[in-house]
Amino acid sequence: MAETKKYVRIKKSKFLRNWYSAYIGKMYIVIGENDIEYITHVGNVLKADAELIVTEKRPAKVGERVLITKPSPMGKQSYKTGDIFIVNHENTPAFGGVRTSDVTGFIGPKEYEVIVNNEVKNEEADGMKIDLNAMGDREIYAHGEAVMEAIKKRMFQAGFRAAKQAHRKLAGMNSKKSTQARRDEIVEQAKADVEKLANKYGYYYAYGRNPKAEFIVNCEKRTVVTILRWIADGQIVARGIAKAAPSDCFNVHIGRAIALRRALGLTVPDEYLNAPQPTEVRVGDVVRGKYADYYYQLCREGELGDDSYEAKIREIADGKYRYVGGGYDFIDDADLTIIDDSREEVGE
């Protein structure tokens, strides 16, 4: 079932003291309502002062109206958030983009929602303009005081919201940075661990023979196997294996450290077994996408029927993740999961 959303567009404001009196024409998300008001994410709006727009998030059909909710930040389109168009042409169902007579080119599937109900019961804002010349002195002063009070309240609320948003964004960035930094430290620790242990095998020296470590990596199965052989005759004396869980990002360096320690009979550090998942997409990472960019989807048409894909990051530039083999996704719009951050080919 398609996801349903509700929006209100401010059509008028009978009273200057209403918070939305300076936002005629603006659109807000409805999160609830009562008998006389719509409750939005920024404040309450009188039902008499707004039009309700109900939408579904799904591909549009010819003749349906679409509401622009998230214009692509990378394009030079002529439309903006809140614009409404009638669809006169459908693109391929796999893509979901639409064309209208009012827009050159196409509107992407993530930029619009389909209008399923649009109740417009109010006169246009121009018919509700306040005539200051018709007011007496006291009424004008009262309106002036209400306007100044509303401005001060609005500035305080806007500043408070901006501060909270900045705080949440900074906290999120710090959290991601801390998580990624910790994983980077563990990967470097694993590399050093392998280099050290591969040249010193502890109790195997008691037999007066020197074993050699071999690593077998299977990225498809997400496994690393360590085999210890005597250098003299090639006899296998021990094995160790490491396998990434389905929900974990595979990293060959951590895998080698785990498999080698198991082959040597050594304790595997908890940080290897419970390393945090990566949060920063980098060149050389293998990612899984839940929705491919249009051009990338076309070049893989027929290969993956569920619109998912796996690809290696070749380049990160110009606001895009570019993949080995062709195609790209916009950074701001991509929904990617890192499934392998070994990056051996790029020297990391």
CATH code assigned at 228: 3.30.160
Please check whether residues 30 and 109 belong to one and the same domain. Answer: yes
> Can you give the pLDDT at residue 221?
93
Is 176 domain-assigned?
Answer: no
Whether 295 and 250 map to the same domain: the answer is no
pLDDT digits (tens, 9 = 90+) for 104-162: 778 888 889 999 985 544 444 344 455 566 666 666 666 676 677 767 766 766 666 67
Specify the pLDDT at position 62.
87
The predicted pLDDT at position 124 comes to 40
Q: d(Cα 130, Cα 15) in Å, to the nearest integer?
A: 9
DSSP per position, 80-114: -TT-EEEEEEE--TTT--EEETTSSS-B-TTSEEE
Q: State whether 8 and 112 are in the same domain.
A: yes
Residues 18 and 53 in one domain: yes
Query: Domain for residue 146, yes or no?
Result: no
* CA–CA gap between residue 292 and residue 313 (Å, rounded): 14
Do residue 226 and residue 252 come from a single domain? yes
Residues with Cβ within 8 Å of 176's Cβ and at least 6 positions away in sequence, in order, are 279, 280
215 and 323, same domain (yes or no): no
Q: Is residue 222 part of a domain?
A: yes
Is 58 part of a structural domain of the chain?
Answer: yes
Alpha-carbon distance values, 184 to 74, 206, 245, 276 (Å): 31, 36, 19, 10
Which of residues 273, 296, 322 is at a domain's end?
A: 273
Which residue range is the domain that position 340 belongs to? 286-346
Which residue positions in the chain have pLDDT lower than 50?
92-94, 120-128, 202-208, 292-305
Q: What pTM was estimated for this model as a whole?
A: 0.48
CA distance 293 to 328: 6
User: What are residue 216's DSSP bridge partners?
Assistant: 225
Q: Is residue 144 domain-resident?
A: no
Indicate if 292 and 317 belong to the same structural domain. yes
Identify whether residues 221 and 320 lie together within a single domain.
no
The answer on 117 and 11 residing in a single domain is yes
217 lies in the same domain as 123 = no
Q: Give the list of residues 6+ apart from residue 145 with CB closer than 8 angstroms, or none.
A: none
Our count of domains for the chain comes to 3
Per-residue pLDDT, 1: 63
Query: Would 170 be classed as within a structural domain?
Result: no
Residue 264 and residue 301 in one domain: no
